[in-house]
A and B are shown apart, each in its own frame.
Chain A
């Protein structure tokens, strides 16, 4: 009987310690500039990027007459570098906004530019159209997260739509008029970076300390790494996604 109580006492102690650790973990020193950089590579044969048939809309097919549009589920560069991978600090507990810039999500030649737009929670972004055909911009988040889906039209010459997202989530963005149009709003908490066409990235404004960096790719999923950033130096985290 005595043993059972002891077991319960130990268990509750463990629970309390975990809760305590979570609460203490909230305190992160906000000052100090650090960086995390690295490269994201794809191991294996790069998946084929299917050509999109845009015959449904003559404006779109004309815009791609000499340079056909491709599905951008995987975009792998010459040395296996992966573009459109979002890197962020998944154990971020700070509250300061990572960036005050207003990133732009443009509809150009019936494709989304960029294909993946990384955003901080609550960061304002702009949706613009450079096309002479009507689009509807229709992000489809899960309303249970706190992000609410909306759907707005952008005919030629329409003014930009300014919005922000309340909660971290990887949100699919679609155009119902052009069903091949498919992009992402990668909403994270804290500083973030997106890889360039060679797979390189740098996350700026990282406070010194231990961090968990997560790499997210729309089809390959996520990978994490522990990185230590010392004041004044850059941490490094390289990722490799294997062919399935």
Chain B
């Protein structure tokens, strides 16, 4: 007859032998099942991970893969590579570098798409569908279960564009040395542009302000403000939050606008001023 001790020991022995038999995929799958209750909150809408299963299979799995690791069937054919959601690192955030994005940030990225990549705009999906997908994206990373999103950076109201502000923006561009990668004219040909790599060691290009393409994380003035203040995590683009004051940041936004070929007040003003590009060889300005 089995004693209680013997049956108990059988259970322990069985679990000791059974654990290594599970594959990594099965363990990840199990992990994901436990996070199926993940929610997202976008405005008044609450997204539920469990409701996004079919949507993800239909629209996202081809590139981002069933485990959300960016290793979908299309992985070899797309560049930039699909995001690995398991790492919980995102380019487009309103939160400081090294912190998680807000649900709204992820929602905006899904709707906006990423220019110069294979990620299209998903605005055709309903707000509820996109909110559900945000929850689904979050459920892939254990970080969303343990950490809170960072506190979004403050963006003061946009001031009036003036010639002085555009000039001051050029000085900021020179002082924090944006040109090291982006080039003095914003043509993505700075001295360090050719050796840039992302966090996974893959070559990556600096943003070219002059070829008419849109910044990856949005093209409104607020978006551009946010991009250089938060940095794009996972890429060489750092956060300048400690180095540029909010008011100066608006000056820089206006100067960057003047570099862009799209018709703008800033561009006309800079032309009228006859504004010259920054001098790479000038002695470094101090903060």
* Real binding pair: yes
Report which A residues bind B (CB closer than 8 A): 5, 8-9, 11-13, 15-16, 56-59, 132-134, 136-138, 140, 143-144, 148-159, 161, 176-179
Contact between chains at A143 and B87 (CB < 8 Å): yes
Contact between chains at A176 and B196 (CB < 8 Å): yes
Q: Is B9 an interface residue (CB 8 A)?
A: yes
Contact between chains at A153 and B240 (CB < 8 Å): yes
Stretch with Cβ within 8 A of A (4 or more), from B52-60, B103-111, B228-236, B261-269: B228-236
Q: A56-B192, A149-B98 are in contact. Are A176 and B197 (CB under 8 A)?
A: yes
Contact between chains at B180 and A134 (CB < 8 Å): yes
Contact between chains at A179 and B192 (CB < 8 Å): yes
Tell me, rounded to whole Å, the shortest Cβ–Cβ distance linking B171 to chain A.
Answer: 12
The contact string, 1 if C-beta is below 8 Å from chain A, for chain B 272-287, is 0000000001011111
How many B residues face the partner with a CB closer than 8 A? 47
Q: How far is the CA of A12 from the CA of B286 in the complex (A)?
A: 67
Q: Looking at chain B's contact residues, is the secondary structure mostly helix, strand, loop, or mixed?
A: loop
Q: A143-B88, A155-B176, A176-B236 are in contact. Are A11 and B13 (CB under 8 A)?
A: yes
Q: Is B32 an interface residue (CB 8 A)?
A: no
Q: Is B143 an interface residue (CB 8 A)?
A: yes
Nearest B residue to A6 by beta-carbon distance?
Answer: B6
Contact between chains at B243 and A132 (CB < 8 Å): no
Scan residues 144-203 of chain B and give those whose CB is less than 8 A from a CB of chain A.
175-177, 180-181, 191-192, 195-197, 199
Nearest B residue to A59 by beta-carbon distance?
Answer: B284
Nearest B residue to A154 by beta-carbon distance?
Answer: B243
Contact of B233 among A16, A150, A157 (CB under 8 A): A150
Q: How far is the CA of A75 from the CA of B233 in the complex (A)?
A: 32
Contact of A5 among B2, B181, B196, B233 (CB under 8 A): B2
**B94 neighbours in A (Cβ, 8 Å):** none
Nearest B residue to A151 by beta-carbon distance?
Answer: B238
Q: How far is the CA of A157 from the CA of B65 in the complex (A)?
A: 45
Report which B residues bind A (CB closer than 8 A): 2, 5-6, 8-10, 12-13, 16, 86-89, 97-99, 142-143, 175-177, 180-181, 191-192, 195-197, 199, 231, 233-243, 281, 283-287
Contact between chains at A152 and B284 (CB < 8 Å): no
In addition to A136-B238, A150-B233, A176-B196, 7 A-B residue pairs with Cβ atoms within 8 Å of each other are A5-B6, A9-B9, A56-B195, A132-B284, A148-B89, A151-B235, A152-B231
Tell me, rounded to whole Å, the shortest Cβ–Cβ distance linking A23 to chain B.
Answer: 16
Contact between chains at B8 and A12 (CB < 8 Å): yes
**B8 neighbours in A (Cβ, 8 Å):** 12
Contact of A11 among B5, B9, B284, B287 (CB under 8 A): B9
Q: How far is the CA of A162 from the CA of B216 in the complex (A)?
A: 29
Q: How far is the CA of A201 from the CA of B249 in the complex (A)?
A: 47
Q: How far is the CA of A92 from the CA of B176 in the complex (A)?
A: 43
Nearest B residue to A180 by beta-carbon distance?
Answer: B195
Q: How far is the CA of A212 from the CA of B8 in the complex (A)?
A: 35
**A134 neighbours in B (Cβ, 8 Å):** 176-177, 180, 284
